[in-house]
Structure formats: C-alpha cells, structure tokens
Amino acid sequence: MMRRATLAVLLAGAAGAAVTAQAPRGTAPPQPTVVVTTVVSKRLDRPLALPGDLVAYQDVELRSKVQGFVEAVPVDRGSRVRHGDLLVHIVAPELAAQRAEANARIQGARSQRLEAEAKLASDEATFQRLKAASATPGVVAGNDVDVAQRTVEADHARVEQWKENEEAARSAAKAVSDLESYLRVTAPFDGVITERSVHAGSLVGPSGTPLLRLQQVSRLRLVVGVPETAVGGIAEGELVKFSVPAYPAESFSGKVARIGQALDPKTRTMPVELDVANAEGRLAPGMYAQVAWAMRRSNPTLFVPATAIATTTERTFVVRIRDNQAEWVDVKRGVPADQLVEVFGGLREGDQVAVRGTDEIKQGTRVAVKPAPPAGK
C-alpha cells in the first residue's frame, strides 16, 4: 500500500510538469517565408533555329510535244543556257509530209479560186452588157438577162466556196507549222541543265520521259516551315540569315518574299519563302539550310522565372503574393527567353510571385515576403 501511494504522487507531479511546459494558449503559429520576384514586361525577340530547303526559283522538265527522233542535243548536264537557246532538235518525217500535203491543198484551192474569179469577171461583164441592151425594147429577151444574172450569182458563190477552201488549207498548214515549231526545244528562261535523259537517235513523244531538266539557280527560294507559335512575327521584306553545311563558317541572307497564310495540318507550321540572290552560283538547289529565324511579338508580353510556374494534373499556375496573402493565378506557358518564360493569364507587370511555384502554398495562406537576390548572387 505504501508503494502504491508513492507511485501515485510521482505520476501526479510529472503531469503537472508537462502542462507547465506547453506553449501558452492563443499564440499564432509563425508565418512561412516566401521568396518572391517581380513579373516583368518586355518585347519577345529571340533567335529560333529552323531547318530550311533551298530550291530553284524556276524548275521545269522539258518534254517533247510531238513524236519524233532526236537529231541533236547541243547541251549536257551542267550547261548554262540563256532564254531562247536551242536545247534539243527533233525530226519528224510525218510532219514534213503533212506540210507538203497542206501546201498542195493551198495551191489547188488558190488555182480554183482564181479560175472562179476569172469566170465571175467574164459572166459579170456579159450580164452588164445584156442589162444595158435590155433597156432598148426588143433587143434582148428578158429571160436572157435573168439567166445571165443567175450565172453571176452562182459564180459569186463558187468564188466564196474556194476562198473558204483556201483558208481551211492555210489553217491546216499553220497547224502543221505550229507542230514543227515544237521540233526545236528552246530554253524558257536563263538557267542550268541539271538532268539529261535523251541522246541523238532517241524516240521521243508527249507521253515519254522528260528530255531535260532546267533550273534557274541565279536566284533561289529558301522554304522555311515556321512554327505556329512564331507566325505572328513574320514580316514581308525582312532579311533573314542562314547557313549551309557546305560553307559552315559563312553566313548568307534571304528576304521574306512569300508567306503561305495557312498552316500545314501535319506539322503545324506555315511555309514561308525567302528570295536568295545566287549570282555567283555557290548555293545550289537541294541544299539544307539552318535558318536563324527571329521570333518576335507585336506587343510586349509578361515573363516570370521558369521555377515560378507550377503544374498539377488540373492546372498550371503561379503563386501571386498580394498583401502578404498567397493567391493562385492560372497561366499559359509561352516561349522561353534567357532564364525567363513567357506567360499569359491574369497577371500584370509588377506583380510579385513566388520564385518557387508549388501547390504546398495554399490559397489564402498568410506569408512573409522575402525579395529574391539579384541575378548572379
């Protein structure tokens, strides 16, 4: 019994000491300290490396419009030609026969027309004499005058018919002559022969393989697929620099000339063409180009550090601190620039946001603010 009494006294003393050690009731817990930074506004202007393809400014496959045999090809792969130069000479014996036949028809129709015109002139003179004589009663029968008049009318019709026949023969001859003009394949513009598929003696025709390929290389097109996020900064006439693997230490430039105005649904890029002067011929169609595209915004946008953006399964946000109280503001991530990231949402320039965005800082939490140290410290 004595031992039990002593144990009870010891337990009571320990309990009293524990109560004495507790913090006083009604004291608020300490506020968490949040390092903050300021939302800045600036105009986005950063280089964007994009792939591009150099293609000929004009590029044609030359084919034969008529069937025949190649007589001569005075050019070859790599030949530089000027507009109107003869590239391929074709012979077609059938066309020569058709031309001779058409010319014979012209001569035949012309002879018939001249004969009909001579007969018309004679019959017209006879009619005029009979008509004049008929003015004196009893000299010429009226029926003779009528017969002479109908003869003249028939002669007129015959002359018109042979005129039409002659014109048709001339049209046929012109058609043959037009086809013969295709026997001489000439250069439609200044350029370089980059492919040759035929030689003397080859049989060619409209459905055959191309004779030659001609490309204009003194001026090139640089085709660039601009991402959807960068199409807002495209400016026609702007100079853009690029490089090619053939000359890694050199920089070239082209001028924005044509904008596609529509996105490719597969790549989500807009094709843009740059005109590139290539008078020296150092660049060539088919070269791969690395384009230093300048990504710009038409108006200033807001930027925060990348660490300030918090992402959960439900939302992307930054923690704004206003009057020492945390507030979640939904944002959309834009383009990174240096150590900052472009954001779009309910922020304003000068707002203070947590340098480290996290969902651990709950909405409405009272916090103590600590400015972030300057960059580099």
- The residues that bridge with 52 in the sheet, in sequence order, are 224, 289
pLDDT of residue 152: 79
Q: What is the pLDDT of residues 181-230, one digit of tens each?
A: 889 999 999 999 999 999 999 999 988 889 999 999 999 999 999 998 88
Domain boundaries, the chain: 33-42+300-371, 48-57+215-296, 68-88+186-204, 93-181
Burial class (CB in 10 A: 0-12, 13-18, 19+), 93: exposed
**Number of other residues whose CB lies within 10 A of the CB of residue 1:** 5
Inter-residue contact 113 to 163 (CB < 8 Å): yes
Mean pLDDT of 333-348: 89
50, pLDDT greater than 90: yes
Best-predicted range by mean pLDDT (95-99, 295-299, 332-336):
332-336
Q: Which of 364, 349, 285 is nearest to 319 (CA)?
A: 364
Inter-residue contact 269 to 230 (CB < 8 Å): no
- Strand 184-186: give its sheet, edge to edge: 184-186, 86-91, 68-72, 203-204
Q: What is the pLDDT of residues 284-307, one digit of tens each?
A: 999 999 999 888 787 889 999 999
Q: What is the DSSP string of 194-230?
A: EEE---TT-EE-TTS--SEEEEEEEEEEEEEEEEGGG
pLDDT of residue 162: 82
Q: What is the pLDDT of residues 137-147, one digit of tens each?
A: 766 676 777 77
Assign a CATH topology to domain 48-57+215-296.
Elongation Factor Tu (Ef-tu); domain 3 (2.40.30)
How confident is residue 105, by pLDDT bands cut at 50, 70 and 90?
confident
Please list, in sequence order, all residues whose beta carbon lies within 8 angstroms of the beta carbon of residue 266, skipping any fewer than 6 positions away.
none
Q: Say which CATH architecture domain 33-42+300-371 belongs to.
A: Beta Barrel (2.40)
pLDDT of residue 24: 54
pLDDT of residue 254: 95
